[in-house]
Chain A
């Protein structure tokens, strides 16, 4: 029954369009005029910028949109609650890529193939191949290799919107004054931090608040330094030499950076750079658009961009957000039209004009000479690591309870790092064992 529903309504929609087409200009939005869809997304700058695009959408299509913007780490509780009801309030949800596995494994999202097979809904010029592959795979595809990576078994559940990778942002004026070059490797990065610190300049800002935030900070360095969370058999390797080195890096960042890193969430870490309290920011590309926003930034025009420094390999963050449609959304077709609109070529270009971040290669190319960061991003994207963090349902607990605690100890104390990471590794193993990840290995062993 569930599978039939979109087909039937799709047919009804097609019929409605046929009728409308007979009398007036053809308009794919016509059947949904007057519908109100409710969108749940984060209170981030990109999404605040998108509010204008949403107004334009309503003007053009007649579909009303209500936005429920929350602090991004508070989104999940709210969305899970809504999506686990028989009929939810939200028509569109925006998730941090790390929640996609959980949402899909609990059966809470609608596969987008149900809409992409509907000729009345899909704009033939949508061109999904133009969307940066790293973004699409990471935010929207679930069920591939390891459950979250690209692969034949994957299916599309969302489109990237507010997706990101990491680049290095640095203060050109400070670097010039100190005679520094933007670092290209981790050795250079650490040397640069030390030099800035010696000169009395807070070197690099970073997130560091207990839980998700400090773990995100560590992950940024784990991938380029060659580390991983798990090996191929789901054995945690948090305490590998690479993991310990990444922990050492965030300790050095906390020691040489602006005051308060252990209290910094995403907003505070960015604010430290934007208010001029730090010389470097190595995290999401979102910093570029934020630095151009006079409401948020005092450093517009002084910021240069470079690739995420390389350790043993090039590997930058894959994260940010994707938008999709809950299985219990009351207005699924209108919701699809909405997410198609905001991620379309025109919508993507409009987001750039409004101060947001594009997800399409064509948009990056078209605006490359306007914004310094776009060429860097385009060059960075091939390095975006699809296995940057394991996007499994258990990641949540590992992220907050295990790593989030251990890494706080790393940046707030002087204790030797290896034992801290060893203990965290052991905890991670217990969780994975509890959730049954080793049953296949044991089964083969017998």
Chain B
């Protein structure tokens, strides 16, 4: 059973060992709850609050005029906002599709336990441990139009040097590619873990029944790890709406808004053009999207507790 599913589970099977004084659980959760309220919930409410004011950096907030719903009305009609939502959706579609396909495909091919597997696994988690800033810097160097290594090697197969980060389509490709490099190993690792946790009896039984390789994958293995796949997918989806650091370094969102994911759009609006109130209104939109996706995770992980508890 997943820890997540269990955490959301209503009651505990085992009664508390003894009479822990009725208040002590509250004492135990209080510090954490206070910090999360002050550091996460309060800022989110502040984002709502600020979105009703036209506050500019360098002026007193007290002097900021109240503008009511004006920022929200502007947002609904602002093509730039929706363009960056669209960029985010396209980014999510391409990265998640390719990462899932590659990660799951490779995991199915390479699931058999072998000697030295832990070495490879260690290597595969490296991209996830590297700071996003550093990931952005490395790929900015590799994609550089003048001295980038990617152009050099593409030259061998007859491809002209490209201005990767200066062309809307190519820059989009570049951020997708970088994300795939970074996150495919993650999918690969958790799918392998899921596959190796499958009860071998089922697989053996199916073999005895004479199912072929394809049937084994599509009728037996994938359905059995469905919950793993769904959670991985939803987690990646939320990541897409949280991501901004790699793109901030790699392209800054440009050219134009071609690689400006919604998170980066908010950041740029707030601190590049200094429209703090308007940026807050857009972040309310982001909060709503992420909140809905998070609810989806909660729902998806709850039915899972029976099926995956094999």
Q: Which residues of A contact B (CB under 8 A)?
A: 77, 80-81, 83-84, 102-103, 106, 108, 208-211, 258-264, 272, 275, 277, 396-397, 400-401, 405, 408-409, 412
Contact = CB atoms under 8 A, between A and B. Distances in A.
Given A84-B60, A400-B273, 9 more contacts: A80-B274, A84-B57, A259-B163, A260-B145, A260-B163, A263-B163, A264-B166, A408-B254, A412-B255
Nearest to B140: A263
A243 B161 CA distance: 31
B252 A209 contact: yes
B127 interface: no
Contacts of B145: 259-260, 263
A83 B57 CA distance: 10
A106 B161 contact: no
A110 to B, nearest CB: 15
Contacts of B57: 77, 80-81, 84
B228 interface: no
Q: By CB atoms of chain A within 10 A, which of B252, B255, B274, B275 has the most?
A: B255
B194 interface: no
B168 interface: yes
B256 A108 contact: no
Given A83-B58, A400-B273, A259 B167 contact: no
A263 B252 CA distance: 10
Interface in B267-304: 269, 271-275
Nearest to B57: A80
A262 B271 contact: no
Contacts of A81: 57-58
B256 A408 contact: yes
B275 to A, nearest CB: 7
B257 interface: yes
Interface of B: 56-60, 80, 144-146, 161, 163, 165-168, 252-257, 269, 271-275
- The list of the 4 closest CB pairs from A to B, nearest first, reads A210-B254, A262-B166, A260-B145, A263-B166
A405 B167 CA distance: 13
If over half of B's interface residues share one DSSP class (helix, strand or loop), that class is named, otherwise mixed; here it is loop
A81 B253 CA distance: 24
Contact of B255 (A108, A262, A275): A262
Contact of A84 (B59, B252, B253, B254): B59
Contact of A211 (B59, B80, B272, B275): B272
24 contacts: A81-B57, A84-B57, A84-B59, A84-B60, A106-B58, A209-B252, A210-B253, A210-B256, A259-B145, A259-B161, A260-B163, A260-B165, A261-B163, A261-B166, A262-B254, A263-B145, A263-B163, A263-B166, A263-B254, A272-B146, A396-B273, A400-B272, A405-B257, A408-B255
Contacts of B253: 210
Nearest to A263: B166
A272 B256 CA distance: 22
Q: By CB atoms of chain B within 10 A, which of A77, A262, A263 has the most?
A: A263
A215 to B, nearest CB: 12
Given A396-B273, A401-B80, A263 B255 contact: yes
B207 to A, nearest CB: 55
Contact of B166 (A80, A83, A208, A211): A208
Nearest to B254: A210
Nearest to B256: A408
A43 B32 CA distance: 42
B166 A412 contact: yes
Nearest to A74: B271
A209 B166 CA distance: 8
B254 A209 contact: yes
Contacts of A259: 145-146, 161, 163
A210 B255 contact: yes
Q: By CB atoms of chain A within 10 A, which of B57, B167, B269 has the most?
A: B57
Nearest to A80: B58
B166 A260 contact: yes
Contact of B256 (A102, A106, A277, A405): A405
Contacts of A77: 57, 271
A401 B60 CA distance: 24
Contacts of A262: 163, 166-167, 254-255
Contacts of A263: 145, 163, 165-166, 254-255
A183 to B, nearest CB: 25
B146 A412 contact: no
Contacts of B80: 401, 405
Given A106-B58, A108-B58, A397 B275 contact: yes
A401 B168 CA distance: 17
Contact of B146 (A260, A400, A401, A409): A260
A405 B84 CA distance: 13
A277 B274 CA distance: 36
B255 A401 contact: no
Contacts of A396: 273-274
Contacts of B146: 258-260, 272, 275, 277
Given A83-B58, A259-B161, A262-B255, A412 B167 contact: yes
A83 B254 CA distance: 30
Nearest to B269: A401
Nearest to A262: B166
A103 B168 CA distance: 34
B149 to A, nearest CB: 15
A286 to B, nearest CB: 21
